[in-house]
Amino acid sequence: MIGFVVVSHSEPLAVAAVDLAMQMIHGDAPPVRVAAGADGGFGTDAVAIAAAIDELAEIDGVLILTDLGSAVLSSELALELRESTQPVRISGGPFVEGATAGIVRAATGGTLDEVAAEAAGALAAKQPHGEEPRGEEPPRGEAPAPDASGAGAGAPAPEASPTGDVVERDVTVVNPVGLHSRPASVIVKAASGWGTVPTVTDLTNGKGPAPANSMIALLALGATKDHVLRLRAEGPDAAAAVDALAALIEDGFGET
């Protein structure tokens, strides 16, 4: 599992950001260390950051999340001071959104590359509908082009192919607020553990496909109540994965 060191000039800010992220975890949470404040006040301390990294010496990798530019400088110095040798990266993503997105992805077994990418692209979910993300990563998916039958443009799709290798199902969002943070994090957890990564496309607004194991990609769909979502998966676990996601959406994530 990937761990985190949260570096902030303010300890209350860091603790609040971690607490928000943990509200989205459904199951075992990744290890998180807070290295915030300096000398009992505002600032950052490279020695404290290095110590926090060393506390996570036995895990697969560490992602450092920072709030302001000087926190990055302190984190870079901490990499020279640390004694542990596990892979460590400093995220350039947004502090609060990156912490939530990264921690949720790590909780489902994401690699350091996957977790770092999720944190870096976390601003995508905050863009007004119809605008390109202004974060570090390009959009994660585009609307499928309509084919002769109209698929990709809102036409119904078969639930499964004759071979059973590809499964598609269209479901309607029924919970009042739509695919907000908590339902998205529930989907991420449900999408993990299969031999396939399902995708979700919003047929109503044409956004997607989004990988179901990415909270930020799911939020970027902007799916609200009564939107029709197309679930798609390939491989031997496709039917089970689609069934699991469809059940959550049709149940309204327990919010109806």
96-117 mean pLDDT: 94
Listed residue (181, 175, 89, 174) closest to 136, CA to CA: 89
At 128, the pLDDT band (50, 70, 90 cuts) reads low
pLDDT tens sequence across 183-231: 999 999 899 888 899 999 999 999 999 999 998 899 989 999 999 999 9
The helix (H) or strand (E) run that includes residue 184 is helix 181-191
Least confident of 16-25, 103-112, 186-195: 186-195
At 249, the pLDDT band (50, 70, 90 cuts) reads very high
CA–CA distances in Å: residue 99 to residues 35, 54, 184: 14, 20, 15
pLDDT value for 123: 85
pLDDT value for 142: 33
Distance CA 85, CA 91 (A): 18
Site of tokens 């553990």? 193
Is the predicted pLDDT of residue 129 greater than 90, yes or no?
A: no
pLDDT tens sequence across 57-77: 999 999 999 999 899 999 999
At 149, the pLDDT band (50, 70, 90 cuts) reads very low
Least confident of 102-106, 140-144, 219-223: 140-144
pTM (two decimals): 0.70
Does residue 9 carry a catalytic annotation?
Answer: no
Active-site entry in 26, 129, 180, 227: 180
Q: Which residues contact 214 (CB under 8 A, 6 or more apart)?
A: 101, 105, 118, 140, 188
| Neighbour count for residue 11 (Cβ, 10 Å) | 17
